[in-house]
Structure 1
Amino acid sequence: MILVTGGTGFLGSHLLRKLVNVGEPVRALYRKKIPQQVKDIQHKIEWFQGDVLDVISLEEAMVGIDRVYHCAAVVSFSPGEHATMMKVNVEGTANVVNMAIDAGVRKLVHVSSVAALGRAKAGRLDESCEWQESKNNSKYAVSKYFSEMEVWRGRAEGLEVAIVNPSIILGSGYWNDGSGALIKNAWKEFPYYTQGINGFTDVRDVAEVMYRLMESDVDGERFVVSTDNWKYYDLFRQMAEQLGKKAPHIPVKPWMAEIVWRMEALKSKITGKKSILTKETARTAQMQVFYNSDKMQQALPDFTYIPLEKTIADMCKAFLQDQQQQ
């Protein structure tokens, strides 16, 4: 039987759908409630209330499990959440690894991030990059790097492992966080765009790669999962066009971003609402970063990425349908 941590999250919910569709028996860990995004398939999943920081619940959840997908993590660029993020991402991963070893689990597929490759150098980044301390590394990147270290420790102790390092994941269903928030900005005709470049990939592709790696003989490897490297402007423009909205037209200069994130930080303190734009996100959005996923394509030669144009079209279609139902 399979255990999925983080099954209530964005990637985890899409992974659950993939596993159910191929007929795998699945147990999913949840902390508080089962998300609406999997309402149609929730009866096909064995739900187990627990937490990656609660080793007792993890131990119970691992009973009868031979494969584990570890998706549970905190993704945040807000300074006030850094401590929690480090605890969940690093200590939580250590707990999952330890309990998996104790339970005799055969294989673990761990969700990391391209952020864990580090951004100490320019150019195309891939799995061969060695981590280096750099001011360009976000706190999230640091947490994912150390979580990977826990996974490698697990392999040294006899656990088969594979790690995926997705770039920015795009997909439908969670409109208030991550890539979903980008759709909402396009819907509101947010006029600004940054001049950075980053890697992007479809959430369905990440789930597919994870499944294929789990079912393969791959052990002790990590893989960048990134469809293509795009300018943020091109991403926002296509979103706006699909939604029938005006595309962003005001480029954000670095000095402008430095002012805006400070204003947003002050606004967040006054209102108590979390800001999407922080010091880390403002600076990252100006960087031009390129990711190379050739290694994954060599390991899974039959795999084909969903084009980003289709990903965006599907996201916008789903968003418009949800808007009509409100």
Structure 2
Amino acid sequence: MILVTGGTGLVGSHLLFKLVSNNATVRAIYRRAHKLESVKKVFSYYTNDVDALYNKIEWITANINDIPTLEFAFKDITHVYHCAAFISFEPNRYLDLRKINIEGTANIVNLCISNQIKKLCYVSSIAAIGHEPNPNTVITEETEWNPELDHSVYAITKYGAEMEVWRGTQEGIDAVIVNPGIILGPGFWKGGGSSSLFRQIHKGMSYYTKGISAYVDVLDVIESMTQLMASSITNERFIVIAENLSFQDFQKKAAQQLGVEPAKKEATSFLLSIAWRVDWFNHKLFGKRRKLSKQLVASITSNTIYGNSKLKNALDFEFKATDQSISDVSSFYLDDLDLSDG
């Protein structure tokens, strides 16, 4: 039996659809019942037999920081996909990020060891990959993490979570780690994840940045995960990205597909340096939620080029073109918008 953590998220819900479509025996954990509707919504994008497929999943209420419920969830499990994570770039949320991303992953790894599971797949992020001082140098799985750099709190905790997985491999667990870029997929328009970018662009954005990052379709992330789990490959990490693209170009392409005007003004590094300081001040003085941080500004203005040759060579993998991903997700968003209007 396969266990999926984070089954109500973007990656987890798409993974569940693929697994049950292939008649796998699956158990998934969730924390909040209302989130289960998000899974059904994702299923509806790809099939008319939503209930039939959804009902194949054995759902268990559990928290990755609650050992007793996790122990019950691990009964008779042979393979684990650990997709659960807390995504935030707010510096004041570091302890929450650490609790879920690092301590929660340590709990999953420990139970994998004690239950002698056959293989673990952990969904990390390119945020946990090292950086190159030269922006023209391609970042690969071998690029070293420099702890002296000013990393975001999210990156620090995803890197820490990877260290827990590597610890597990030293204690007898076979594992693979995937490091996706910005994941493009439908169904989570109002959350804080990548899907909400399409909603923000449709509503109208005033500014763009010229920083470069990497993008990948959610279906490619799922396909790479399942292929790696079915392969003889163990104890390796893989960058999972289709294309490196500037935030300006991404926004233009998405705006075109959504039928809206793209942002016209550049948010320069100088302007953003003022903005994150104002954001910090508003948080300290008025308790407002952080929207911008020094590290996030560095991320959206820097040129980072990631390589995907390791995965392509290992699995003979071909990625969906980013233009097609943007088109597909935009269509899903507009369809959902029409339904909500109706």
Matched-pair identity in %: 41
Counterpart in the other structure of 2:75: 63
3-state SS, counterpart of residue 76 of structure 1: coil
**Post-superposition shift, 1:26?**
0.6
- Separation in 2, partners of 1:120, 1:84: 29
- Separation in 2, partners of 1:125, 1:219: 22
Q: Does 1:125 align with 2:148?
A: no
Across the two proteins, how many residue pairs are aligned to each other?
Answer: 325
- Separation in 2, partners of 1:308, 1:267: 37
**Are 2:91 and 2:152, in contact at CA under 8 Å, matched by a contact in 1?**
no
List runs of 5+ in structure 1 lacking aligned partners: none
Q: Does 1:37 align with 2:38?
A: yes
Match of 1:135 among 149, 168, 172: 149
* Cα deviation 1:191-230 (Å, max 9, x = unaligned): 2100100111111110110000011101111100010100
Counterpart in the other structure of 2:2: 2
Q: Please, what TM-score do these two structures have when normalized by structure 2? A: 0.91
* Cα deviation 1:154-205 (Å, max 9, x = unaligned): 1111111011011111111111222122112211221210010011111111
Counterpart in the other structure of 1:186: 201
3-state SS, counterpart of residue 27 of structure 2: strand
- Separation in 2, partners of 1:136, 1:165: 20
Q: Does 1:149 align with 2:163?
A: yes
**Are 1:119 and 1:136, in contact at CA under 8 Å, matched by a contact in 2?**
no
Q: 1:12 and 1:272, CA in 2 relative to 1: closer, same or farther beyond 3 A?
A: farther
Q: Does 1:294 align with 2:294?
A: no
**Are 1:167 and 1:225, in contact at CA under 8 Å, matched by a contact in 2?**
yes
Letter in 2 for 1:252: A
Q: 1:81 and 1:124, CA in 2 relative to 1: closer, same or farther beyond 3 A?
A: same
- Separation in 2, partners of 1:291, 1:311: 18
Q: Please, what TM-score do these two structures have when normalized by structure 1? A: 0.95
Q: Does 1:216 align with 2:217?
A: no
Counterpart in the other structure of 2:180: 166
3-state SS, counterpart of residue 169 of structure 1: strand
| Mapping 1:196-207, distance limit 5 Å | 196-207=211-222
- Separation in 2, partners of 1:205, 1:65: 25
**Post-superposition shift, 1:273?**
6.1
3-state SS, counterpart of residue 223 of structure 1: strand
3-state SS, counterpart of residue 185 of structure 1: helix
**Post-superposition shift, 1:322?**
1.2
Letter in 2 for 1:321: D
* Cα deviation 1:251-287 (Å, max 9, x = unaligned): 1110101122233445566886645433322221000
**Are 1:199 and 1:226, in contact at CA under 8 Å, matched by a contact in 2?**
yes
Counterpart in the other structure of 2:116: 104
3-state SS, counterpart of residue 3 of structure 2: strand
For the aligned residues, what is the CA RMSD?
1.6
List runs of 5+ in structure 2 lacking aligned partners: 41-49
Q: Does 1:242 align with 2:257?
A: yes
- Separation in 1, partners of 2:293, 2:324: 30
Q: 1:223 and 1:233, CA in 2 relative to 1: closer, same or farther beyond 3 A?
A: same
